[in-house]
Amino acid sequence: MIIAGVGLSVLAVVLVGIVVARKVDGDSANFLVAGRRLGVPLVAASLMAAAVDSNATVGNTDLTSAFGFWSGASLALGLALCLLLTGIFLAKPMNRMGLFTLADFYRLRYGRGVEVASSLLMIFAFAILMAGNLVACGFLLERFLGLDYTLGVGIAVVLVLVYTIGGGMFSDAYTAAIQIVITLTATAALLWWVGSTIGFSIPDGMGPFDFEQLTSTDAGAPINWATLLSLGIGDIVAIDFMQRIFSARSPEVARRSCFTGAAGTAVIGVAYALVSLAAVSAFGLDMADGPVLFTLLDDYAPPALTILVLSGIVAASFSTASGAILATSAVAVRNILGVRRVTTEPGVRDPLLRWTRMAMIPVVILGVTVALQVAQTGILLTLAFDLMLACLVVPFLLGLFWKRGGTRAAVAAMVTGLVVRIGLFVLTPTMYGVPNDVAYLPNDLVPASFDGWPTFYGGLTSLVAYLIAATVWPRTITEEAWSIADGDVPVTAPDAVAVPVARVGAPPSSPVIAAAPAPALPDAGLPVAPQV
């Protein structure tokens, strides 16, 4: 009964995604950024659905049950902080730039080499993020249907791929609207049931007002702050978040959507953390028997509530996985392989659209491989954006708001952050309170109490490296010319035939010749990317 109910909700989401796929109409601009015409409801829903995934629900409850409120809730609160900061400082300028992927920014600002390097890091990080959501789906099908975990992961990825490969951002946005309604309803129902049956009793030292979780090393303060920093700042360069911001019809829509998504993410994350604490207090649940939330629903909750909550978890996981597949494939094809959107005569297939769809197959294989090797949820989310924080945040933020740093500064920040973060990762015996059985090198130099601090050192050394390199090697005139001359369509030689390129938002029958780059943005110091 439970699986049948969840299956119906999943089927409804998949069918909507397939029906909406016709909006793509053979154009990669529609596929990647929904034609840049989504309003606040769809953008906000897709941002919230991307944030409130299995990591912020299943991973949240697991970590909360073991280490306290701030250990688990920080996953959702960190993502909410990221959306808040993005709305305040970044949504407007990034939407105005008219990019297709976040890696486009690194090309415009630092050149082709940095574009490729940043793209590889993004793909690796988002394979980890995708894996975290597939892990939750695999555990769910294993627990409630008796399927093998590997088979469960495979079923989940196939269902997500079915509608993502057809409708891209349009399918992602419309299915997210359904998914977030299910998630909000499930959260409200779960809170009501817990409050009316077992009450919100909280074990000593584990509640939201037990601030030693944020001040004492023994209570995990470095790990909790590292989670907030990694997700609150590191997630700023999340390619799926930015893909949705690029899809907004205007800078103001992008900004308002971020604020709405931040509020919803925070509320849902806090709710699931409180539910976990209540379950620990009432039933003594822990991770030894599998995900705490699944145990609570399977053994204690009424079937109708179980169906609703599990449907919300699966829906949110599907949305995040869908966005990760889409954004990662786009980065691989556009920013590594260099394929561009070119529309000519009717009937000619857009190469960027075609190759992005094809790239989804190896992308999901990579995500499944990670999910089978590291069967964790919340840990995978934080680990992914730890890497982004150490390597890509500094070049992005300083590159956007400070003109001095050039290619050498970006490379210095990325290489230094990567070396320091990976080095500390393999030397630290635990990662966010969980034994490091991924890549630990036994040593006597780094104790388990150092856990959490590598996040800070990775970001800090990246910042220092950028500042030093920018001081020694300022941005050159040649580097500034890269961004001014950058375009998706090659400059037409005198004896060449101009390639018509459909302007974003224009009817398919109204091609125009690629225009000269727009003037620099006064608030970002970068040119508007060509709308092609």
| Ranges of each domain in the chain | 1-387
Q: How many beta carbons lie within 10 A of that of residue 240, not counting itself?
A: 28
Smallest CA-to-CA distance from 432 within 152, 231, 175 is with: 231
* Residue-level pLDDT at 346: 60
pLDDT tops 80 at residue 526 = no
Residues 451-466 have pLDDT tens digits of: 999 999 999 999 999 9
| Spatial distance between the Cα atoms of 414 and 166, rounded to a whole number of angstroms | 35
Contact 277, 292 (CB under 8 A): no
* Residue-level pLDDT at 290: 74
* Residue-level pLDDT at 381: 61
How distant, in Å, are the alpha carbons of 258, 394, 414, 424 from that of 420? 32, 15, 10, 6
The vertex-5 CA angle with 379 and 316, nearest 5°, equals 30
The pLDDT-based confidence of 514 (bands split at 50, 70, 90) is very low
**Helix and strand numbers, DSSP H then E, in the chain:** 22, 4
Please state the rounded mean pLDDT for residues 186-196: 95
* Residue-level pLDDT at 499: 36
| Spatial distance between the Cα atoms of 347 and 340, rounded to a whole number of angstroms | 17
Residues 30-62 have pLDDT tens digits of: 999 999 999 999 999 999 988 887 778 888 998
The 3-class SS string of 331-357 reads HHHHHHCCCCCCCCCCCCCCHHHHHHH
Please state the rounded mean pLDDT for residues 79-107: 95
The 3-class SS string of 17-32 reads HHHHHHHHCCCHHHHH
| Spatial distance between the Cα atoms of 313 and 57, rounded to a whole number of angstroms | 7
pLDDT tops 60 at residue 530 = no
Least confident of 154-163, 340-349, 470-479, 480-489: 480-489
Rounded (10°) CA dihedral 21, 26, 27, 32:
40
Smallest CA-to-CA distance from 23 within 12, 37, 44, 41 is with: 37
Q: How many beta carbons lie within 10 A of that of residue 283, not counting itself?
A: 14
Beta strands 434-435 and 500-502 are unpaired
Q: What is the CA radius of gyration of the chain?
A: 23
Q: Which residues contact 116 (CB under 8 A, 6 or more apart)?
A: 335, 336
Task: Specify the CATH number for 1-387; select among 3.30.565.10, 1.20.1730.10, 3.40.720.10, 3.90.1170.50.
Answer: 1.20.1730.10
pLDDT tops 60 at residue 532 = no
pLDDT tops 50 at residue 147 = yes
| Spatial distance between the Cα atoms of 162 and 100, rounded to a whole number of angstroms | 22
Biggest alpha carbon–alpha carbon distance for the chain: 78
Residues 118-141 have pLDDT tens digits of: 999 999 888 887 887 788 788 877
pLDDT tops 50 at residue 486 = yes
| Spatial distance between the Cα atoms of 410 and 240, rounded to a whole number of angstroms | 22
Q: What is the pTM of this model?
A: 0.86
How distant, in Å, are the alpha carbons of 365, 375, 378, 426, 435 from that of 439? 21, 14, 18, 5, 10
* Residue the block writes with tokens 């991924």: 438
% residues pLDDT > 90 (the chain) = 52
The vertex-298 CA angle with 276 and 143, nearest 5°, equals 105
> What φ, ψ does residue 501 adopt, rounded to 5°?
-130, 130
* Residue the block writes with tokens 């449907």: 311
| Spatial distance between the Cα atoms of 31 and 23, rounded to a whole number of angstroms | 8
* Residue the block writes with tokens 């630092």: 110
Please state the rounded mean pLDDT for residues 248-259: 97
The pLDDT-based confidence of 490 (bands split at 50, 70, 90) is very low
| Spatial distance between the Cα atoms of 362 and 325, rounded to a whole number of angstroms | 10
Contact 14, 42 (CB under 8 A): no
pLDDT tops 60 at residue 204 = yes
Let me know how long the chain is: 532
How distant, in Å, are the alpha carbons of 76, 87, 246 from that of 93? 25, 10, 10
How distant, in Å, are the alpha carbons of 65, 204, 220, 229 from that of 216? 18, 15, 7, 17
> Which H helix or E strand runs over 500?
strand 500-502
pLDDT tops 90 at residue 313 = no
pLDDT tops 80 at residue 489 = no
* Residue the block writes with tokens 């988002």: 126
The vertex-105 CA angle with 265 and 323, nearest 5°, equals 40
* Residue-level pLDDT at 494: 34
The pLDDT-based confidence of 493 (bands split at 50, 70, 90) is very low
Q: What is the DSSP letter of 57?
A: I
Smallest CA-to-CA distance from 236 within 273, 262, 214 is with: 262
The 3-class SS string of 399-454 reads HHHCCCECHHHHHHHHHHHHHHHHHHHHHCCEECCEECCCCCCCCCCCCHHHCCHH
Contact 307, 230 (CB under 8 A): no
Average pLDDT, the chain: 84
